[in-house]
Amino acid sequence: MKKGKSENAFEGLMSRQDYLVVQANDLAKAFGNLKAFEHKLLDYCFSYVTKESNVTDTFLVTTKEVLKHFGLNASGYNYERVARGFKALNENTALYFAIEKNGKKGIRMGQLFSMIEFMENGEVSFKFSEFAAPYVFALRSQFFSFKLAELAQIKSKYAIILMKLWEANRFKNQRVTTIQGDLDDWQDWFLGEERRMPPAIFARNCLKVGAEELEKKLGVDVYLNVVKNGRKVIGYEMQITDNRQPTTAEVIQHATENSHQTDIYDFLD
């Protein structure tokens, strides 16, 4: 029985599990408002960026490919789930950066995607915005990376976010990484700017959930230090010790040597 071209393309999908997702560090802290499925869908989109990619490129995927990547059957419900996921990425990936012009401070606002098209046959086209391109295509020497297959085993939103924060704060091949921030920083990273929780509930429902999943699935050790001013919680300091073989540092080294990333400035010179 002969297979169609699209089916043959789907068979090659599993090789994407070894693709490296490469993002600028700032993106690790940008989307605390996304759900776990949306985070994974976003990272799947990032994985299409290669060293040959251009800032003007439009990327094409199919819903069947996405479903196969996530191990979901091709039901109407799951097609709708993917469609809702892309809709959420379009609506909830605004970016805000502090800027300064002529001695005056300001905020630059933009969107991660310039467009996303979802067709009735399940084809999805997307294009990253010119505003976000430097962060998607990675700034020089400021990126973090992990394999899609490594990400796929992580289930909770909070573990995914913590994994990204860990890699964004990790320096070269260090085994122990420290992540620091005040209470608002941590809640922005995990919840987005619109949601807030009492510190005790946030630590239990977000930080503990994320840390325990990374410990269980990646074999790391996580230590959380609660920073207080008197009895008031004002921040957290988290220490993550990588016990894995091979380490993420080796993955990052591999990404440098066989880079899937490119630099936005290569296209703007």
Q: How many domains is the chain partitioned into structurally? A: 1
Q: Are 72 and 25 in contact, with CB atoms under 8 Å apart?
A: no
pLDDT at 18: 65
Task: Check residues 142 and 40 and name the one with the higher pLDDT.
Answer: 40
Range of the domain at 45: 5-266
144 forms bridges with which residues in the sheet?
Answer: 23
**How far apart, in whole angstroms, are the C-alpha atoms of residue 176 and residue 144?**
16
Summarize pLDDT for 134-180 with one digit per residue, the tens. 788 764 456 677 777 778 788 899 999 999 899 888 876 688 999 99
The mean of the pLDDT values for the chain is 81
Percent of the chain with pLDDT over 70: 80
Q: Measured between alpha carbons, how far is 34 from 157 in angstroms, rounded to an integer?
A: 8
Question: Looking at 34-43, 130-139, 258-267, which range is the least confident one?
Answer: 258-267
Cβ atoms of residues 153 and 217 within 8 Å: yes
Residue that wins the pLDDT comparison between 13 and 151: 151
Distance, in Å, from the CA atom of 37 to the CA atom of 156, rounded to the nearest integer, reads 9
pLDDT for 266: 37
Check whether 209 has a pLDDT greater than 90: yes
Tens-digit pLDDT profile for residues 64-107 = 989 888 888 888 889 999 999 999 999 999 888 777 888 888 88
CATH number, residue 73? 1.10.10.10
Q: Looking at residues 34-47, what average pLDDT do you find?
A: 90
Exposure string (b/e) for 173-211, b if CB count within 10 Å is 16 or more? eeeebebebebeebbbbbbeeeeeeebeebbeebbebbb
Query: How confident is the model at residue 80, as a pLDDT?
Result: 92
Q: What is the pLDDT of residue 261?
A: 40
Whether the per-residue pLDDT at 22 is higher than 90: the answer is: no
Q: Which of 2-16, 122-136, 209-223, 249-263 has the highest mean pLDDT?
A: 209-223
0.85 exceeded by the pTM?
no
